[in-house]
A and B are shown apart, each in its own frame.
Chain A
Amino acid sequence: MKRLFLLMLIACFVVSGGLIALGQDTETVTITVRCRAKPPMEDWRGNNFIGAAKGLNTDLEAAGDPRRVEVVIIQDNIDWGDYVTEFVLSYVANEEPDIWLTGHEYIGVQAEAGRIIALDALMKEFPGFNSVIDSLWNSTSYKGEIWGVPQDAEARPLYFNKALLGELGWTANEIAALPDKIEKGEFTLYDMLTVAKEAVDKGVVADGNGFWMRPSNGPDFTALYYAFGGETIDVATGKLVFNEVAGLDYYQFFYDAAQTYGSMGGLGLGWGDAWHPGVSGSKVLFWVGGTWQWAEWAELFLKDLGGEAYMWETFGIALIPAAEQGGEANSLTHPMAYLISSQCEDPDLALALIEYVTDYGSNTRHAIASTHLGILKEQTEYKFYKDSRLLSETLYMLDYTTFLPNNPYWGPYSTITYEALAAVVGGDFTPQEAVEFVVDGLQRELGDDVIIR
């Protein structure tokens, strides 16, 4: 009996040893994906990797590669500052994600710090990336190399409230023609302020509700600086640029909007408790926002009123008007990009996963759910993309789009120029004082790393 038991035990050991040996034919590689996403609209940013892992594992098996991928997705709606801090702290601890989704403007600083890898060489083995719209690679390039794969894009249009324009006496035809007039440069930023002032004077909107920008610092303001001819980067040297003349016009516009026309408010409001309810609740005539906010208003603020159907009746979308008659209207795109950590042990697998989520199906799922624009060539021809009215009607804005610069000093530049703007809107600075404040601040903070023109 004892001998039988011993034999069975040995047999168990042999069988389990064999199974372990068989199991060791494959090696599991864990790839951590970290995304910042607003649930439920932006969940596909991370969730697309679930399907990608299945596909990649099938490919690896077919190719006889012993590696198998297991994806860990960490996705939440943490604030941007905390999100970037977390990456930096976890990188030093070697606990950072292998794939990190972030705004393209962080590429410069992370590349300089050596925390991410350049992808040019690796990407040659993944031709799927050729389907990405060529101009978007500019946003993820730094010092002549590509450091990230665009994940989504958006337009930052000028929204207008059709119902309120109607109350001002605009006909349906005039309202419908507005986006076209803006695109042709026939309706300028100051024309907009004039209409906004009229709306305030006639009591159609409350004081300060004629025109809103976003309530806190962000890329939208740069689009208006560009509209006045401003530059942010010197192509030859890669240094940041501030134009004094364009800056003066830019600050004069905001001074006029708030002080002369008395039609601008919105700065300093809370997003969820005041800004979104204000614009989606038909309390504001014109405002600059993002296309992704369309989904947020439909899903979170206006669902009870009919969501998108109600919004198409009530809101209109156009480019940000030109600064002067005949000038060029614009928009600003702030693509998100997947970056790969320089400590990732299998960057080829990480990039293979990213290639899997950079396809029509995965990207369109995200684009529709979050009303971000597609990033792939001919994506507008893709059946399911075409079915989204907002995406189809705003895609032309990419032809007029501008980008933030990829520069490690963009953070202080952006902060200083916004502080001056907030002071101008608040009446604490004249436009000239704002420009002087910006020039002093930039030279003090950035020294030779900024060019003042």
Chain B
Amino acid sequence: MLRSKLKPALAYLVLIVPSSLIILGFLWLLITSFSTRVEGLQSLGWTLNNWRFLWESPFGPQYPSIWTVTLNTLVMSLIMTLIVVVVSSLTGYALSRMKFPGRKGFLSLTLILHAFPSVTLLIPIYFVLLWIAKIPLIGRDVPLLGGFGYNTIGGVALVMVAFQLPFGIWIMKGFFDNISWDMERSALIDGASRFKVWWQIIMPNIKPGIAALSIFSFLTAWNAYLIPLTFTAGRAGKSAVLSLYLQNFISESVMTEWNAVAAVGLFQLVPVVLFFLFTQEALLNIYSGGKKGGV
């Protein structure tokens, strides 16, 4: 009797101890963001002042509003997520289901590309973006994105796509590999085209994979720092994103306002949590088996 109760209690204990550390961290973040000062988890005075960046720029009237910066980040993240998911799904399907010369070589190549640290490719990518900037229509002055060249939201998204694609292709190929051939064969026998099979038969069966890739891609773009820093001009410029905006509160030479950092950090976290809430059902299906092994 005691043993049967002890076992789940032990399991809960193993879960609660590491989880509580993370929860304490978030709790500190929340308390700090609404406090003038804190000692541990104890607030020494409550204030909304740390959140004033929502209605006024803490860096003067010339600084872009947090809402402009958030819109930039959102557009960049959504564009990147959309392209990564679409391209990875199509590529993953082809690599999983079709035989063509260079297939294995292509797979190895994508893995090698993924192994490159992004910092080593910054300069060549910079020249590519300069070249793209000169292409009429897409290089410059695209509404919302600014374009796909240097110092544009679209350009940063494009670079992020390039870095994320190898990961996405391998993930999606794995999911396609686990879908039974029988379903596809039946559809083909019934006269469906390859595209129809991909779109109507296979894709609905790998929703957990799409959700997983979406959330990983979105998070990567949402929190990206090095690439936006390198390929946009100024943390206060027209293409500023949230991770760069947050850095304005942290300086090498003056005191960091950690309470404001906590508030902006929480603000940056909100869309991620919302995104997770909307996709968690599909995401958790990865671990409950999905369609592994076929229907």
Contacts and interface: CB of A to CB of B under 8 A. Distances in A.
A47 interface: yes
A97 B234 CA distance: 10
B62 A46 contact: yes
B62 A75 contact: yes
Contacts of A93: 129-130, 133, 149-151
Interface stretch (B111-119, B170-178, B196-204, B248-256): B248-256
B233 A95 contact: yes
B83 interface: no
Given A96-B233, A270-B252, 8 more contacts: A39-B60, A50-B62, A92-B130, A93-B151, A97-B233, A271-B253, A271-B254, A301-B255
The dominant DSSP class at the B interface is loop
A272 B236 contact: no
Contacts of B61: 47
Contacts of A276: 254-255
B294 interface: no
A86 interface: yes
Nearest to B149: A93
A399 interface: no
A82 B229 contact: yes
B253 A76 contact: no
A93 B128 CA distance: 11
16 contacts: A38-B254, A39-B58, A40-B59, A47-B60, A75-B59, A76-B236, A77-B248, A77-B251, A78-B247, A85-B230, A89-B150, A93-B133, A93-B149, A95-B233, A273-B256, A300-B255
B62 A296 contact: no
A74 B234 contact: yes
Interface string A258-299: 000000000000111100110000000000000000001000
A93 B125 CA distance: 13
B253 A73 contact: no
B165 to A, nearest CB: 24
A271 B250 CA distance: 11
B62 A47 contact: yes
Contacts of B60: 39-40, 43, 46-47, 75
Contacts of A78: 234-235, 247
Of the four ranges (under 10, 10 to 19, 20 to 34, 35 or more), the interface on chain B belongs to 20 to 34
Closest A-B pairs by Cβ, 3 of them: A93-B150, A74-B234, A76-B236
Interface string B46-83: 00000000000011111100000000000000000000
Nearest to B234: A74
Nearest to A277: B255
Nearest to B150: A93
Contact of B234 (A40, A43, A76, A300): A76
Contacts, number: 88
B135 to A, nearest CB: 14
B126 interface: yes
A38 B256 CA distance: 11
A381 interface: no
Interface string B174-215: 000000000000000000000000000000000000000000
Contact of A75 (B126, B236, B254): B236
A90 B62 contact: no
Interface in B17-32: none
A79 interface: yes
A34 interface: yes
Nearest to A92: B130
B271 interface: no
Contact of B254 (A46, A74, A96, A296): A296
Contact of A38 (B150, B235, B236, B253): B253
B223 to A, nearest CB: 18
Interface in B232-282: 233-237, 247-248, 251-256
A89 B62 contact: no
B151 A95 contact: yes
B233 A74 contact: yes
Contacts of B255: 272-273, 276-277, 296, 300-301
Nearest to A89: B126
A300 B255 CA distance: 7
Contacts of A74: 233-234, 236-237
B252 A271 contact: yes
Given A38-B253, A89-B230, A76 B150 contact: no
A95 B150 contact: yes
A447 B59 CA distance: 44
A79 B233 CA distance: 13
A392 B151 CA distance: 43
B59 A73 contact: no
A303 B63 CA distance: 25
Interface string A393-424: 00000000000000000000000000000000
